[in-house]
């Protein structure tokens, strides 16, 4: 199945589903399609992050943030991700993807995701994203106000704090 078809399906489906509030968990049962497979016979490691992008689109639509971004001329921007793989997902296998806003800071929102097969975790990680305007990153206080909700108030989880520390080490002190 072509990824553009998946993208279109995600948008159309999201528009028909109930709204979500920031922090709600989006849970979706998905299938590993033949074009998701690598030469080792399981879902390609890059495909996991592509599926996360599709869930992010659905999350944006269902929380109303997609509409805010369109009205304001903002664009979503991914600032990075990290993922750990534990079990491979095989061709045609169904799995559950859990996706939620876990924390935020002044500009970034940290989304936790889990690919699970029954009660077994296959892959887990975080991605960070922000809204960007022509002037740069949009402060979360402003983007949440435009959404009509208070900023998502949550302490950064230890894995996110460690990730940000490692990221700063990778990017250097000028970052």
Q: pLDDT for 140-162, tens place per residue? A: 999 999 999 998 888 999 999 99
Average pLDDT in the chain: 92
d(CA 133, CA 152): 20
Map tokens 């970034």 to a residue. Answer: 108
What's the half-sphere exposure (Cβ side, CA atoms, 13 Å) at 163? 17
pLDDT at 8: 84
3-state secondary structure of 174: coil
Q: Is the model's pLDDT at 1 over the cut of 50?
A: no
List the domains of the chain with CATH numbers: 3-160 (3.10.129.10)
Q: pLDDT for 88-137, tens place per residue? A: 999 999 999 999 999 999 999 999 999 999 999 999 999 999 999 999 99
d(CA 6, CA 52): 12
Helix 3-16, helix 45-63: angle, nearest 10: 30
């Amino acid at each position: 199945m072509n990824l553009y078809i998946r993208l279109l399906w995600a948008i159309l489906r999201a528009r028909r589903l109930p709204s979500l509030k920031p922090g709600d968990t989006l849970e979706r049962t998905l299938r590993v399609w033949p074009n998701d497979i690598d030469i080792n016979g399981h879902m390609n490691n890059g495909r996991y992050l592509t599926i996360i992008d599709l869930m992010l689109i659905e999350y944006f639509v269902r929380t109303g943030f997609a509409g805010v971004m369109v009205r304001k001329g903002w664009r979503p921007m991914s600032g990075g991700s990290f993922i750990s793989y534990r079990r491979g997902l095989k061709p045609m296998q169904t799995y559950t993807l859990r996706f939620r806003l876990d924390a935020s800071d002044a500009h970034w929102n940290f989304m936790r995701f889990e690919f699970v097969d029954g009660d077994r975790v296959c892959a887990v990680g975080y991605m960070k994203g922000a809204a960007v305007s022509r002037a740069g990153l949009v402060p979360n206080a402003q983007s949440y106000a435009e959404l009509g909700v208070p900023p998502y108030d949550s302490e950064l989880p230890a894995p996110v704090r460690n990730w940000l520390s490692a990221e700063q080490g990778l990017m250097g002190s000028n970052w």
